[in-house]
Amino acid sequence: MPDLDDAKDLVNLVHAVNALRAQGKILAYHDRSDGGLLATVAEMAFAGRVGVSLNVDMLVTEGDGISDSRMDVGDSKNWAGQVGARREELTLKALFSEELGVVLQVRTAERSEVMATLREHGLSAHSHFIGKTRPASSEIDAGKNELQIWRDAKAIFKAPLADLHQVWDAVSWKICQQRDNPACADAEHAAAGALADPGLHIYLPQGKGSESNQPLALVESTQDATKSVAYLTPASPALLLSRPRVAVLREQGVNSHVEMAYAFTEAGFEAFDVHMTDLQTGRANLADFKGVVACGGFSYGDTLGAGIGWARSITFNPALADQFKAFFGRTDTFGLGVCNGCQMFAELADIIPGAQDWPRFTTNQSERFEARLSMVEVLESPSLFFAGMAGTRLPIAVAHGEGYANFKYRGNAAKAIAAMRFTDNTGAATEAYPFNPNGSPGGLTAVTTADGRFTAMMPHPERVFRNIQMSWSGLDADAHSPWMQLWHNARRWVG
């Protein structure tokens, strides 16, 4: 089992890593844990989609008691043969030891500065340069990306990343085959390490997402993170003379209300935390609000239809049903339903003007809860939230077990107004798993009304309204993400 001989070493490591991060000198980081160094570097290579060449000479020489004096006299002529078995044993230890440690990727030009920082924190004796990335010369040669291990100037191991990724994913694949939808498990496994997959990307059509006519922007996950990239950011309303009131609705188990309230507040609204019991007891009334948003999470524990139960708490209560119907019927109101709130809005479609063709959202085709960062495309639609964003492709957080747009139970697929759909990493609409996490037809994952006032979507834009909230963005981590445009659009619509 891993142990820690001196706790001060771990404390020093944390300080050193923080110092290097503050200096912008760390490109990637991974702790050495399950599987040891080989698994750690392999996982980094899979994520970066880049070949890696490791050299273990320093790791198998230090402290092994083996002299590296290769004089061409006497027994020294047979040095390699004498120490070979010992070095094989030490190589395995170096590659598979699970003792505490980390792997840092840094720029070659900054090696000396990085080592100086590690030395300042008393870690030079534990720090070694162990290799470098070996990217393929072009996208066409991506299949040549390999994980290589070198020792004594010889390559003792080589394997294509794609093959290693398939092996690495195999156990999870077999578990998913037994636990979930086998077809989806097979599809996800086949996609692991696929050479033709360009990865996540951000595409903002010319002039979209801002008030100015800026250049088209395309940011890909495979691009050099050190390159500066021009991109579009949503502009705030020019002048806020008032802060319209928005009811941030929640029910038992909902957990996205704080992020949603923050996003609305940032855009110039006054957000109010309104629990369903507030409406049921009369402590709050929708007549006092300009907008209403039903948030996501795990309403009713995500059991028995989740959002369906939420909707029934309204439709089975005549006073509440009349209150919601009056709110939806006003021409100066707007509404947004996300995740469980999307399910709830869909079940209230009969009292939402223009929503009669919306589907019911049922169990994902994968037969499992999906929590991942997925690619979506904003479609041309009347939705006030997506004004000016048509054609935009962005990663977005999804977290749902019942997101399948099911027209079998209600709605009309030919007439429902789509506002957003899942795409694969090339930007094409898809029903293929895992790019479409719930299997909805045509990738459908958001619907709206003909007047655009009410929109229901399954993904969570409120969880990624800042770039730093995404596991990958490619944009300024300190800035709002392009998703913030939804709330600015709502504020402009109110006027």
Active site residue 270: no
User: What is the length of the chain?
Assistant: 495
Angle at alpha carbon of residue 81, lines to 78 and 84, rounded to 5°: 140
Query: How many whole angstroms separate alpha carbon 60 and alpha carbon 64?
Result: 7
Structure-block tokens of residue 41 = 């570097």
Place of tokens 């929640």: 250
Please state, in angstroms and as integers, the Cα–Cα distance from residue 26 to each residue in 40, 45, 158, 297, following that order: 16, 15, 26, 34
* Mutual angle of helices 7-22 and 111-120, in 10-degree steps: 140
Active site residue 339: yes
Long-range Cβ contact pairs of 224-231 (< 8 A, separation 24 or more): 225/27, 225/474, 226/107, 229/474, 229/475, 231/202, 231/204, 231/475, 231/476, 231/482
Active site residue 189: no
Question: 301-334 as b/e, with b when 16 or more CB fall inside 10 Å?
Answer: ebeebbbbbbbbbbeeeeebeebbbebbeeeebb
Beta carbons of 392 and 361 less than 8 angstroms apart: no
- Which of 30, 121, 189, 460 is catalytic? The answer is 460
Query: How many whole angstroms separate alpha carbon 469 and alpha carbon 254?
Result: 19
Residue 378's nearest CA partner among 441, 420, 321, 417 is 420
Alpha carbon 24 to chain centroid, angstroms:
22
| Alpha helices in 180-256, H assignment, sequence order | 182-191
- Reduced to 3 states (helix: H, G, I; strand: E, B; else coil), residue 485 is helix
Beta carbons of 321 and 351 less than 8 angstroms apart: yes
- Which of 188, 251, 402, 462 is catalytic? The answer is 462
- Which of 339, 400, 480, 488 is catalytic? The answer is 339
For the CA atoms of 345, 350, 354, 357, what is the dihedral angle to 10 degrees? Answer: 80
Residue 441's nearest CA partner among 359, 354, 347, 350 is 359
What is the per-residue DSSP string for 293-322? EE--B-GGGG-TTTHHHHHHHHHTSHHHHH
Active site residues: 339, 460, 462
